[in-house]
Amino acid sequence: MDATALYTQCVLDHQRAPRNFGRLEGHTHAADGANPLCGDSLRMELACVDGRIAALRFDGAACAVATATASMLGEMAVGRSIEQIGELEARFSALVNGVVGRDDVLADLNAMSALAKHPSRRKCALLAFATLRAALAGSRSATTEGNS
């Protein structure tokens, strides 16, 4: 399957063995992300200390793209502030929209650059960011699907 640049070993590895998977006892923030059209759902639970993410866990039932992105993002989120997560999301958005081909700051998340050629799957990857942002902002839920 040479055309499947999206399903790289890196993505498959994060999908098969997602990092920080599960629930976080004593979390201070949480949100549920759902894309009902796709049938993707993610829950993110965080512990924030002094405006920074001290710990993060996620779980849910979602496609490989959404799960792998959540796993990669979880690894990077710890230690960052809300503002820094916002900056990361802007960089990630530029990557999946094909504005940049690679961004070293994004580490493993660069695996999602193939989404530049899969516009219909971008919302899957963006769900993890939207859910994390919702949790940090104190809203309970998030989606990256328009109304339908």
- How far apart (Å, rounded) are the C-alpha atoms in residues 41 and 143? 9
Tell me the two tokens of residue 137. 């902002």
Residue 34 or 95 with smaller CB distance to another protein: 34
Cβ atoms of 57 and 51 closer than 8 Å: no
Residue 23 C-beta: closest distance to another protein, Å:
20
Tell me the two tokens of residue 59. 């779980």
Among 20, 23, 28, 22, smallest CA distance to 135 is for 28
**Piece of 21-29, 105-113, 116-124, 126-134 that binds another protein (CB under 8 A):** 116-124
**Piece of 19-27, 55-63, 95-103, 132-140 that binds another protein (CB under 8 A):** 55-63
- How far apart (Å, rounded) are the C-alpha atoms in residues 113 and 89? 14
**Piece of 1-9, 17-25, 70-78, 95-103 that binds another protein (CB under 8 A):** 1-9
Residue 104 or 120 with smaller CB distance to another protein: 120
- The amino acid that residue 116 corresponds to is A
Residue 22 C-beta: closest distance to another protein, Å:
18
- How far apart (Å, rounded) are the C-alpha atoms in residues 66 and 57? 15
Binding site for another protein (CB under 8 A): 1, 3-4, 6-7, 12, 15, 36-41, 61-65, 118, 121, 124
